[in-house]
Amino acid sequence: MRKFKTESKKLLDLMINSIYTNREIFLRELISNASDAVDKLYFKSLTDKSIELSKDELAIQVSFDKDARTVTVSDSGIGMTKDELDRNLGTIAHSDSLAFKMENGEAQGDDVDIIGQFGVGFYSSFMVGKSVRVVSKAYGADEAWVWESDGVEGYSIEPAERAEHGTDVIITLKDNTDEDNYDTYLTEYGLKDLVKRYSNYVRYPIRMEVTKSRELPKPDDAGDDYVPQFENYTELDTVNSMIPIWKRRKSEVSQEEYDEFYKTDFHDFADPARTISVHAEGALSYDALLFVPSRAPFDLYSRDYQKGLALYSSNVLIMEKCEELLPDYFNFVRGVVDSQDLQLNISRETLQHNSQLRAIAKKIEKKITSDLEDMRDNDREGYEAFFEDFGRGLKYGIYASYGAQKDSLADLLLYYSAKQDKLVTLAEYVEAMPADQPAIYYAAGDSLERLGKMPIVKTVLGKGYDVLLCTQDVDEFCFTAMRDYGANEDGEGAKEIKNVASGDLDFATEDEKKEAEEATKENENLFKALKDALGDAVTKVEVSARLTDAPACITTEGPVTLEMERVLSKGPDG
């Protein structure tokens, strides 16, 4: 039998040009490899006490040379021997890091967190580089080697010089073309931005030479008109913040630290209203840190708004906004989910299996719900402010799911009670219902004031029943989708939710109804004249048994009320 030969040139080409959607992730991949190399050395030092590592050895450095058009990622990690260079960088889809993880997974515990697994990340450097040089000296070895390739014709390995153990990956960037400009990778700002975006939480310091400015000392003979003088200088700075705040227990982090993290990472000026920290272990372990903003972002209800949580795996950013992690009605929640257990796809830009993600999303949804319930019960003022901004979305959640979400969302809703003159939950409404009250009543319109003056509202209140006054477009649609509220576990005992303006409100006694019918008959001619005068504006005119002190009211038959007609005729966006 013959062995398959890989057309590595074609394979590499395929790799480089079709796996990644975003070429800037090359830096993420190289830093991840550097972090793995440092991790491996650190792991070795845990078991071999003869290895003493200084803090500087457990670090990564990123630099660039504008003239030579190179970007370099250096680490003082475990390094590679000549054989390892050949095996690891000469074989596509070969990952020594994965093998390392398999061998030491048990032993490494929390101290080591290897990122690599697919054996392709390194080649992403050819998306931006026309050639790549890797100078490496393995820990404990005497000689260094340089691996070099233009990504097309294969590679060479030659002896090289390197003072200490570790690896430098030096990319010579491609020339700019009309479409592609690689110059952002040759600026301090451009590189720093990428480090912060993708590798901010890599556990080892990532250092960069950064330019700073300082004021020169004021000369002794400076006169009153002295203008302060500044000079630029460069300094090696740690660019990443390293410790993922979401991995720390809530008891170890101050609210100020959470607030700071939220404001910087999610670009808000105000502190969050709620901070939810989740640490799950077991079949699917993950950490999550979620925030409920204290007010709605300006574009929350626009089509451009993008929901989602940042998704990390082993401290490296996979997706900035993973939509699947949040249901639409919790689209306002911001935050981070980090899980080592996710099966990433080969580009580490998305996931292999969404079932894991769905499982996490479910748990997260529950956490958010219970946190909001907690706020509702223990910080009512805060909850009312929250509801003012985000309540509409919760109601849409029920409406858009045709009521399927009512079990989880109905208890988060607040409505204005005409009787109690304040916001109440549906549970509080039902709790306060007189024993003979048959249904939950609401009235929908555009202002509380006008709703309060509606004759039918007064009638219902007059019977000792409360009426929920609803002023949002979505209210009536939401209630129509809910139909009823308050069923027990067996699905019994639910109270129907009724619009006081719908024709079938049945408060009148049989006698009163008969009376009204007779009055209608007796005045047949009058009503016919009224109907003729009003024409198509009404379908019929009759005596009503539902009015108390008002002379007349307009009402509808069937499920669509006047208010809904008004909303519908405005179109979906109002």
Residue 40 Cα distances to 31, 57, 198, 204, angstroms: 14, 12, 21, 12
Q: How far is the CB of 28 from Mg ion (least distance, A)?
A: 9
Give whichever of 97 and 131 is closer to ligand ADP, judged by the CB atom.
97
Q: Which stretch binds ligand ADP (CB under 6 A): 32-40, 216-224, 416-424, 557-565?
A: 32-40
Residue 453 Cα distances to 418, 449, 552, 553, angstroms: 10, 7, 13, 12
- Which of 456, 478, 470, 474 has its CA nearest to residue 546? 456
Give the torsion through C-alpha atoms of 341, 347, 349, 355, to 10 deg.
Answer: -40
Q: How far is the CB of 147 from ligand ADP (least distance, A)?
A: 10
Q: How many CB atoms lie within 10 A of CB 18?
A: 9
**Residue number closest to Mg ion, CB atom:** 121
Phi-psi region of 261 (alpha: psi -120 to 50; beta: other; left: phi over 0): alpha
Is 205 near ligand ADP (CB under 6 A)? Answer: no
Binding mask 101-140 for ligand ADP (x = CB under 6 A): ---------------xxxxxxx------------------
Is 116 near Mg ion (CB under 5 A)? Answer: yes
Q: How far is the CB of 27 from Mg ion (least distance, A)?
A: 12
Residue 151 Cα distances to 63, 134, 174, 436, angstroms: 22, 13, 12, 82
Is 57 near ligand ADP (CB under 6 A)? Answer: no
Q: What strands, in cross-sheet order, belong to the sheet with 495-499?
A: 422-424, 415-417, 467-470, 439-444, 495-499, 484-485
Q: How far is the CB of 192 from Mg ion (least distance, A)?
A: 21
Got the DSSP string for 243-267? S-GGGS-GGGS-HHHHHHHHHHHTT
Is 144 near ligand ADP (CB under 6 A)? Answer: no
Residue 75's binding partner among Mg ion, ligand ADP, none (Cβ under 5 to 8 angstroms by kind) is ligand ADP
Structure tokens at 520: 């209608």
Structure tokens at 165: 């153990």
Q: How far is the CB of 99 from ligand ADP (least distance, A)?
A: 8
Sign of CA dihedral 55, 57, 62, 66: positive
Is 33 near ligand ADP (CB under 6 A)? Answer: yes
Is 312 near ligand ADP (CB under 6 A)? Answer: no
Out of 26, 33, 414, 482, point to the residue binding Mg ion (CB under 5 A): 33
Q: How far is the CB of 46 from ligand ADP (least distance, A)?
A: 18
Give the torsion through C-alpha atoms of 21, 25, 30, 36, to 10 deg.
Answer: -90
Q: Which stretch binds ligand ADP (CB under 6 A): 27-35, 105-113, 243-251, 463-471?
A: 27-35
Backbone angles phi, psi at 119, to 5 degrees: 70, 30
Q: How far is the CB of 360 from ligand ADP (least distance, A)?
A: 23
- Percentages of the chain per state (helix, strand, coil), in multiples of 5: 40, 20, 40
Give whichever of 34 and 311 is closer to ligand ADP, judged by the CB atom.
34
CA distance 280 to 278: 6
Q: What strands, in cross-sheet order, belong to the sheet with 206-215?
A: 155-160, 144-149, 129-137, 166-173, 70-75, 60-65, 206-215, 230-238
Half-sphere exposure at residue 430, Cβ-oriented, CA atoms within 13 angstroms: 16
Contacting residues for 514 by C-beta, under 8 A, at least 6 apart: none
Is 117 near Mg ion (CB under 5 A)? Answer: no
By rule CB under 6 A, what count of residues binds ligand ADP?
22
- Which of 429, 300, 292 has its CA nearest to residue 374? 292
Is 88 near Mg ion (CB under 5 A)? Answer: no
Residues numbered 399 to 438 that lie near ligand ADP (CB under 6 A) are none
Residue 313's binding partner among ligand ADP, Mg ion, none (Cβ under 5 to 8 angstroms by kind) is none
Give whichever of 91 and 509 is closer to ligand ADP, judged by the CB atom.
91
**Residue number closest to ligand ADP, CB atom:** 116
Helix H segments across 131-288? 188-199, 255-265
Give whichever of 72 and 472 is closer to ligand ADP, judged by the CB atom.
72
Residues numbered 452 to 491 that lie near ligand ADP (CB under 6 A) are none
Q: How far is the CB of 123 from ligand ADP (least distance, A)?
A: 6
Strand, coil or helix: 551: coil
Q: What is the DSSP letter of 272?
A: P
Structure tokens at 18: 């079709």
Q: How far is the CB of 235 from ligand ADP (least distance, A)?
A: 25
Q: How far is the CB of 189 from ligand ADP (least distance, A)?
A: 25
Is 26 near ligand ADP (CB under 6 A)? Answer: no
Give whichever of 75 and 473 is closer to Mg ion, judged by the CB atom.
75
Is 199 near ligand ADP (CB under 6 A)? Answer: no
- Burial classification of residue 365, based on how many CB atoms lie within 10 Å of its CB (0-12 exposed, 13-18 middle, 19 or more buried): middle
Q: How far is the CB of 132 from Mg ion (least distance, A)?
A: 14
Is 167 near ligand ADP (CB under 6 A)? Answer: yes
Give whichever of 116 and 272 is closer to ligand ADP, judged by the CB atom.
116
Out of 19, 27, 31, 34, point to the residue binding ligand ADP (CB under 6 A): 34
Structure tokens at 572: 């979906």
Residues numbered 238 to 267 that lie near ligand ADP (CB under 6 A) are none
Binding mask 413-442 for Mg ion (x = CB under 5 A): ------------------------------
- Using an 8 Å Cβ cutoff, are 519 and 543 in contact? yes
- Using an 8 Å Cβ cutoff, are 469 and 443 in contact? yes
Residue 375's binding partner among ligand ADP, Mg ion, none (Cβ under 5 to 8 angstroms by kind) is none
Is 500 near ligand ADP (CB under 6 A)? Answer: no
Residues forming contacts to Mg ion in the complex (CB under 5 A) are 32-33, 116, 121
Residues forming contacts to ligand ADP in the complex (CB under 6 A) are 29, 33-34, 37, 75, 77-78, 80, 88-89, 95-98, 116-122, 167
